[in-house]
Structures are given as structure tokens and as C-alpha cells.
Chains A and B, each alone.
Chain A
Amino acid sequence: MKMILKNKFLALSIIALIIISIIDIKMTYTAIDNTWNQLFTMLLIVPPIFILIGLFDVWIPRETIIKLMGEKSGVKGMALAFLLGAFSAGPTIAAFPLAMVMLKKGAKYSNVLFFLMVWSSLKLPIVFFQITTIGLKLSTIINLTMLVVFILGALISEKLLSKDELQEIETKALNYHKGN
């Protein structure tokens, strides 16, 4: 099933490539060029992230994460999730494996989700860049609004998932980073 899904995505891309090739072959070159550029940017920033994920997995004991980000971590857990997301770099997809390690080590789902959300749009280096481009006023509105929405959204999302559904996610996390 997973294979079919993956191939479906690939198949869709190939069909699209054929269609744009018929319309204008130049577009195909641009598309491949774009793909290469995106991939290159990604490959530049991703290796250290995965090394950090590996070190995280090996060095940080489960008890520590349960204490800091687990069920009873409360506001502190959220604050830590925020800091981890804010002091990060790289595309959201690179955050997924890191989120999986956190879940494996016993972090609360809402904290992990909040971390993912902060990573996607409130990374500090990006926030600085954002202010210098679109200005302080617009940046402030966007970031403050999203911060509030993310906090509430993460808490509500966890409530909307049943015990079984949360358990299923945790099992996937355990399988992704097997061992230890």
C-alpha cells in the first residue's frame, strides 16, 4: 500500500512532466532545474540535522524527555518545545524524524505537534529575515497570531485524537528509530 502511494506521487509527477514537455520542452528543463535546486538546498542543510537526531537518540535518556516534555510537563514542556522549534533550521520535512525521536522518548503529543508547528513558521533565523524583508509590523502580527493559534491548536488536536490513535503514532515512532 505504501509503495503504491509513493509510486502514485511519482507517477503523477511523471505524467505532469510529459504534459509540460508536450506544451513546451523548455518548461521541462526548468522543472528539472527547480527539482535539482530544491534538492541541493535540502541536501546542504539536512546532514547535520540527522547527525543531531542520532546524537539525541543516543544521549538523551527517555526519563529526561518524559520529565521535560512528557504528560506532566505542563507549561515547561510547551516552552521547551517552542525553544527547540525556534532554534532550528531546515525544511519542515526534516523536523518529522526529530519529532519521531521525541515521541519515542515519551514526549507528549501536543508538545511534539507544537514543536513541529513552531519549526514550520517561527524559526528564529527566519523570523529575523522576515522582519528585514516584510517589515516589523506585518511580521509581528503574523508571528504573534500564529503562536497563539499553534498553542491552542496543538492542545486541541491532541484532544481530537483518541487514545488508540495516539498509541498508533507512538508505535510508528518506536519502529522508525528502532532500538535503545
Chain B
Amino acid sequence: MGIETYIIYGLTIILLIISLIKSKEKTMLGIKKGIKAFTKIVPVLLPMFLFIGILLTVVTPEFISRLLGENSGILGMSFGLIVGSITFMPPFVAYPLGVELLENGAAYPQVAGFLVTLMSVGIVYFAAESKFFSKKAAILRNVVSFIGALIVIVIVMVMF
């Protein structure tokens, strides 16, 4: 588990204590609101995680490695962008995978495109994101991130 987990727990505990000192009622109301916000998101989360679980069974590191392999060229870049956009991985899984891909001979632009879309474009979030904001807003956020990935690929091609 990453260090950010400890930081966020520490921060929450500190703020909770401060909040409790200042007002017990407000703190209780805040916790109640937090729990309510959480229960509202659960029905969206469960099917999403089931879907991701199935997806990651097919899209294994070996599978990605084959797609982004040496001399995979434009096709490899496209696969990297598509797979990165669709799948979801925690960063502490994604970045070591990126290193592994590079060590296995994948080219930098392919891996960069894959990693950027993996982090910023979330097709699996799309249903939830549309529900929270709006379909158009969700499309815009994902398109902006995807364009960013394309620009990163071009810069990486020039720099490496």
C-alpha cells in the first residue's frame, strides 16, 4: 500500500480531531454527509469493479507487452492509447508495468501514450462521470486528456 494512504488517514484524523474540538454537532453532521455521499456512489462502483476485474483478466501485462512490443510502430501506439483509455490500474501497478514494458523492448512513445491514457482517460468511469456531471462534460474531460496523450507521444518521439 502506498504512502499516500497513510498521509490521507493521518490528515483525516487530525482534521476530525480539530473539527470535534470546535463543534461536536457539526462533526457528526459532516460524518453523516460523508457516509451518505459514499452510499450514493456504491451502486455505481460495484458493477464498475466487476467490469474492471473481468477486463484485467484478458488485458494482462503479457498481453499489453505483446501489443506494445519492439517495432510495434503506429499500431503499437494506437493499441497503447486504446488499452490505456479503457483499462484502469492503480498507479503502483501501472508504473512498474511501464518499466517492465520498456525493459522488454517496448518503445518510449508507446509506453508513454499507454501510461498517460491509463491515468487520465477513464472509459470505465464514463457511466459514473456522466451521471455525476453530464455526458458532454465527461466526453470533454476524456477528450482533453486523450489529446494530451497524443501531444506527449509526439514530444517523447522527439526527445528520445
Chain A interface residues toward B at CB < 8 A: 2, 5-6, 9-10, 12-13, 16-17, 20, 27, 30-39, 41-42, 44-59, 88-93, 96-97, 99-100, 113, 116-117, 120-121, 123, 125-126, 129-130, 133-134, 137-138, 141-142, 145-146, 149-150, 153-154, 156-157, 160-161, 165, 168-169, 172, 176-177, 179
Contacts of B44 in A (CB 8 A): 6, 93
A96-B136 in contact (CB<8A): no
B49-A161 in contact (CB<8A): no
Q: A34-B52, A41-B90, A165-B134 are in contact. Are A89 and B125 (CB under 8 A)?
A: no
A42 CA to B41 CA, complexed, in Å: 12
Say which size band chain B's interface belongs to.
Answer: 35 or more
A141-B4 in contact (CB<8A): no
Contacts of A129 in B (CB 8 A): 2, 91-92, 95
Q: A51-B12, A55-B15, A129-B2 are in contact. Are A97 and B116 (CB under 8 A)?
A: no
Whether B83 sits at the interface, judged by CB under 8 Å, is no
Q: Which of B88, B147, B148 has the most CB of A within 10 A?
A: B148
Contacts of B15 in A (CB 8 A): 52, 55
B51-A13 in contact (CB<8A): yes
A57-B33 in contact (CB<8A): yes
Q: Which of A32, A35, A39, A126 has the most CB of B within 10 A?
A: A35
Q: Which of B27, B53, B144 contacts A34 (CB 8 A)?
A: B53
